[in-house]
Structure 1
């Protein structure tokens, strides 16, 4: 652990606090302050306490921790959804994946880690402010130097020399970009659309049929995590739950004209 690195403090109630260690810095609470030097000396996995006796444990933040606490211009893709998108795209190290839009960079971070330093992520966004935030968030936490940032309209995409292994779309109307996007995706690979409401899902599938695009609708799902508060001998579901966040629509690209 060194100054400049991210650290996550957890109090005895399980509340988390994310910040960078700074030389001469302090973490201030209602129950006293902790000098950053104390935290650094404790190290990841260690424990510290304020002069008033308030205890904290010291942790290296996970990608989930960072995405939930990082600065944002737009609501980030929740980690539970981002991890599932990478799973539905069947990503592996060395692959090439496209995403739109960049948002606050949460999904970008998950995709960049999935394809690794030998892979490549192309992140499209038409709002310069959002992409600047996404770029900053990625570089501040974990930069594999494998993300290409593109400011522009994905509907005007020119097919690349090498097609993509997967596409993640966090757009209100993904059907508007699919005609331009389809030639850029390898046959038998996947598009995953992140859609907040079911009306958008139905509209997407209707547009696919109307446009005669070469895709199979593999599945539509939502990711629900139900956390539990376990304090033996008492156990019950946590009172604060993250329920519905979005529907994930997995489409498989077919070869040729798309007729099975």
Structure 2
């Protein structure tokens, strides 16, 4: 760990603080400051203590840590949903995946890691401000050099036929983009949508049926994590839980009849 790297501090209550190490910098806490030089010396997995005896552990932030704390232009795709979308898309290193929109870049980061340096993420975003934030967030954490950014409305874009192994849509009205996307998705591969409410899910499925688009609806699910506080001999669910964030819709592209 060196100056310029991201660092994550965790206190004894499990609260975390994310920042970048700077030469001459300091982390200010109500029970005393900690010099960035001391964090650098402690290194990942090390411990530091404030002048008032507050103990912190030092860590490299995980992708989950970073996405939950990074600057946001929009509501981010929560890590629990992002990693499930990678599962629903059946991603593997070397694949080409289409994404829209870029949002704050949270899902982009998970997709880029899933397909690896030999794969490619093609991220479409219609709003310049959001795409700029997504690019900054990716470059600030870990840039694998495998994301192609396009500022455009995906529904009006021309895409190469049979080019993509997967499609991830985080859009308010994904059904409007399906005519442009469908020929570009390989047969028997997956398209997954991230939709906040059930009305959007129903509208999506109705549009597929009405327009006779070549998709099988595999499943719709939501991801609920239930964390526990364990302080032996006492154990109970945490009072603050992340419940519903979105519905995830998995569609499989089939051949046209």
TM-score by length of 1: 0.98
The residue aligned with 2:115 is 115
Query: How far apart, in 2, do the equivalents of 1:88 and 1:157 lie?
Result: 25
Query: How far apart, in 1, do the equivalents of 2:216 and 2:154 lie?
Result: 21
Contact 2:76–2:104 (Cα < 8 Å) also in 1:
yes
Q: Which runs of 5+ in 1 are unaligned?
A: none
The residue aligned with 2:72 is 72
Query: How far apart, in 2, do the equivalents of 1:203 and 1:162 lie?
Result: 26
The residue aligned with 1:156 is 156
**SS of residue in 2 equivalent to 1:137:** helix
The residue aligned with 1:17 is 17
How many corresponding residue pairs? 257
Query: How far apart, in 2, do the equivalents of 1:197 and 1:150 lie?
Result: 27
CA shift at 1:162, angstroms?
5.5
Q: How does 1:1-260 map to 2 (within 5 A)?
A: 1-160=1-160, 163-257=163-257
Change (3 A) 1:161 1:207: closer
**SS of residue in 1 equivalent to 2:28:** strand
Q: String of CA shifts for 1:101-144, please: whole Å, max 9, x gaps.
A: 00000000000000000000000000000000000000010100
Runs of 4+ in 1 over 2 A off after TM superposition: none
- C-alpha RMSD of the superposition: 0.7
**SS of residue in 1 equivalent to 2:242:** coil
Q: String of CA shifts for 1:169-214, please: whole Å, max 9, x gaps.
A: 0011100000110000000000000000011111110010001000
CA shift at 1:157, angstroms?
2.1
TM-score by length of 2: 0.99
Q: Which runs of 5+ in 2 are unaligned?
A: none
